[in-house]
Amino acid sequence: MKRASFNFSLVNKHLKKLGKIILYLFATMLLGAFIGCGVASGNPFAIFFPTTWIHFFEFLS
């Protein structure tokens, strides 16, 4: 009996597509955070300040 071989190129293709999707989601989330902080506080780079994240997590709890 001949053993069927596994097609790694198909898996590689799907992993590349999944990686691109994750990268695009991260980029759009970062862009949305820049726009949101820019509109709310006037400084789009305020997303990187630790006080922003402290306030965010206090708001959630």
Q: What are the residue ranges spanned by the domains of the chain?
A: 35-61
Asked whether residue 41 carries a pLDDT value surpassing 70, the answer given is yes
- Split at pLDDT 50, 70, 90, the class of 1 is low
Please give the Cα distance from 28 to 34 (Å, whole number).
Answer: 10
pLDDT for 16 beyond 60: yes
> Residue length, the chain?
61
17-36 average pLDDT score: 95
Kindly tell me if the per-residue pLDDT of 50 is higher than 80.
yes
Number of neighbouring beta carbons within 10 Å of residue 61: 4
Question: Averaged over 21-39, what is the pLDDT?
Answer: 93
Q: Which residue in the block uniquely carries the two structure tokens 């959630």?
A: 60
Note the pTM of the prediction, 2 decimals.
0.66
- Buried-exposed string 4-14: b where 16+ CB fall within 10 A, e elsewhere: eeeeeeeeeee
